Amino acid sequence: MTPLLWQKWEEELKEHSDREWVEFLVRGIKCGFRLGHDQTKVTVKGRSGSMYEASQHREIISKYLEEEVQGKRVWRVERATEGEFSAPPLE
């Protein structure tokens, strides 16, 4: 669930010229935004120099993410039911 009322957003944006964007925004607020990317639109460069894969350093990534969660800069979202997420810790 989100504290944002999608009906209010829909009402406020009813005159907006970009209907596709408005529908995307309202649907995202109502049902949740899909995170990720479309691989067909991404050009991936080979790694070079000192770059490394996160999967080879999971403990570093996990520690960093936990620090961000503890600092309330990001929150851990867990799916409650299909299409719904538990509410983030809002102040």
Q: What is the DSSP string of 17-63?
A: S-HHHHHHHHHHHHH-PPPS--GGG--PPPP-TT---GGGGHHHHHH
Rounded Cα distance between 2 and 39, Å, is: 29
pTM of the model: 0.39
Contact present, 77 and 88 (Cβ < 8 Å): yes
18, pLDDT greater than 90: yes
Q: What's at 11, amino acid-wise?
A: E
The span from the first CA to the last CA of the chain, in angstroms, equals 16
- The per-residue pLDDT for range 28-60, each reduced to its tens digit, is 888 888 777 677 877 767 766 665 676 677 788
